[in-house]
Structure 1
């Protein structure tokens, strides 16, 4: 290794140099001014020309040599080193990487050159202090269309996810998409649009229930996803049809007893048989199992329960679905007062009004606590439980719970904070929207308790009025004092015009449920095995837990039992239901 002075014009460029991307004109102008002022501070590295030549090949410093010539220098200092057996490939790679990071395209070109010279990916990773996985990712650029590589070399790089999608496509596919999305000169490429056009649905091996026999039968070949986390199975296939076919065949061969294959609706939910009720808890032996494929192609199982066949009044037989085998069943049915879309709108109206009332209406603390208990009885609530058959809710309520603790991790006693958290939990839990989020009757009972009817919007819009049957619309006209017109559309227009300045709430949208509906819900929620004695025993345990002496007087019940021959104590839940019925009748 020696330092000597030479004419920069006598040095020869290395055609295999690592950094091939041109620097910006601003950077070149700055270096040129520096060279004119103080000369070259760091001498370029050169090696003797191979093959018996007398010249020198530049290993590092092509830009410095080029700008020294532009500055008109007759001589510059150079550092002469021995020629390497790889023609200086690794030395040039390391020098450029340490001085200024190479862009990914130049890195990839250097890596490919080193691989061609016999370097392994692991050895390159050790020499460059990079993970071997990063080396494999960069080598994916070998699958990128050359025209796209030229754009990337200008500094216009796609994000990692988009690059992954582009590299996974064939060169023909990339060429067609690039032709349609090629940017104008000086503009950046719309990599999102390019990746979106090349996106293919992927089905992952971790979601497959079938084995290698079905995989081979359906021609499925797994491809390793190098961009997936190292600790996950990232294998996938774009043979979607084959993957789904293998999944279906596996489900058919592995149907459980009382099991069936079902389709999914547009929301990805299973279409259960007519009149079936989904079982969310632990299924019984008489329940059915429905197998289906979700949107990711995974096999999912839900359980459902079919209603028992019943015999209607008059002795008319019913089939397994409970349909009456009678000519009367074939008669055309009258149109319901409100269409399904109308009920969807009512569900949204109710939910928005309920949430508005929960956020603003005056609610005393006792009612607030009662509403919390009521909310968690909703059919849309899933709660993690240590008991068997517990449900999963994720972290929906966690963000409210954390507000109840101070910075020292102690539960706050601030009443305002508690009230705000309670209202927020209720807003998240209670819903009248149709579908999986519907809380059912409890949301309507809660809305009635806090006067949420006052927060319902004006439903006199054309969109909602169109959801009403003729009979329902005429009833609304009679109630509002709107005169009926000869034609239905004229009556509808008059009703809409009337409610443009009036507030209209359809009776079916009000929160208060019918007495029979509430009674049925109360009966369904009462367990037949819960007796007064059981309740007292439970209260004794709770009282003891809190250090309170529980005193019960059962002398009257014991006397009644003796007189009736030792009958079981009166069911406390039954008393409550009878009291409710008597009050409702009154």
Structure 2
């Protein structure tokens, strides 16, 4: 893995590089695997005006385009490249570094995350690329990116949402908190439309998602033998100790069974994990 836990402009400093120089802007093209897909038009116009007045103050980081002669691929700085085009620049300052595909993707993700430039879906897709294409684990990502494992896991869960809901998240009509509340809903797209239409808060969205599941007709339950008093008492003790609903399934006369713990939020899940981890360390 590349050393991606540092600023993108310093990453790969141990790799060969050429000093700052100017390259014709038409010889540079974006990285097709760039995790960032959307650019704020107003901010882009503001940056173009600044570049027209003062030039590009921070060079782009590029690499030689694979399989092409005298062509370059952007590693970091696509927004500056787009703004420079708008401002009418013919050449742009760059630093050329020899990154492999893995390093290019990692640096691009890190640069954007460190600057909070990615929306939640873009960040999640960047994580997915690192996992699917390069075999990284969520634990590795959380370490090198300086994010908690729960942050990485929660963002990647957003990719389970229908495309329509992901689009609302991309364009800012839904927050990541709203989207997380809809992941397990029966009809997330319909509920997302209601959330946007009525301007619901995250808490209101969570209640809406829960009520929609409660209104879904349940399957007929199979007949079960009544639990004995000891099992019911033990369930009560565990529920009180954990602060979460606990159910015990234990067949009469058998040695084995199952314990299930129901949580209502990701915060409760984190608390349960922390409690179990502390118990294992003792």
TM-score range, shorter chain: 0.5 to 0.7
Mapping of residues 420-569 of structure 1, within 5 Å: none
Q: Residues 223 and 17 from structure 1, CA distance in 2 versus in 1: closer, same or farther, beyond 3 angstroms?
A: farther
Distance 1:197 1:53 in 2: 56
State the TM-score, normalizing by the size of structure 1: 0.34
What secondary structure is seen at the aligned counterpart in 2 of 1:86?
Answer: helix
Mapping of residues 14-413 of structure 1, within 5 Å: 14-25=31-42, 27-52=43-68, 54-86=70-102, 88-117=104-133, 118-158=135-175, 160=177, 162-169=178-185, 173-178=187-192, 181=194, 183=196, 194-199=205-210, 200=213, 206-213=244-251, 226-228=266-268, 230-232=270-272
Distance 1:197 1:158 in 2: 16
**Number of residues paired by the alignment?**
221
Q: Deviations over 1:332-373 (max 9, x none)?
A: xxxxxxxxxxxxxxxxxxxxxxxxxxxxxxxxxxxxxxxxxx
Distance 1:71 1:226 in 2: 46
Give the greater-gyration-radius structure (CA). Answer: 1
Two-structure CA RMSD over aligned residues (Å): 3.2
Structure 2 gaps, min length 5: 1-16, 215-238, 253-257, 275-282
Q: Residues 51 and 212 from structure 1, CA distance in 2 versus in 1: closer, same or farther, beyond 3 angstroms?
A: farther
Q: Do the aligned residues in 2 keep the contact of 1:35 with 1:68 (CA within 8 Å)?
A: yes
Structure 1 gaps, min length 5: 235-586
Distance 2:38 2:250 in 1: 47
Indicate which of 10, 26, 38 corresponds to 1:9: 26
What secondary structure is seen at the aligned counterpart in 2 of 1:77?
Answer: strand
State the TM-score, normalizing by the size of structure 2: 0.67
Bigger proportion of residues as strand: 2
1:182: Cα distance to partner? 7.2
Q: Do the aligned residues in 2 keep the contact of 1:9 with 1:69 (CA within 8 Å)?
A: no
1:19: Cα distance to partner? 2.1
Q: Which has the higher contact order (CA 8 A, sep 6+)?
A: 2
What secondary structure is seen at the aligned counterpart in 1 of 2:164?
Answer: helix
Q: Do the aligned residues in 2 keep the contact of 1:5 with 1:78 (CA within 8 Å)?
A: yes
What secondary structure is seen at the aligned counterpart in 2 of 1:208?
Answer: strand
Distance 1:50 1:212 in 2: 61
Distance 1:209 1:144 in 2: 29
Bigger proportion of residues as helix: 2
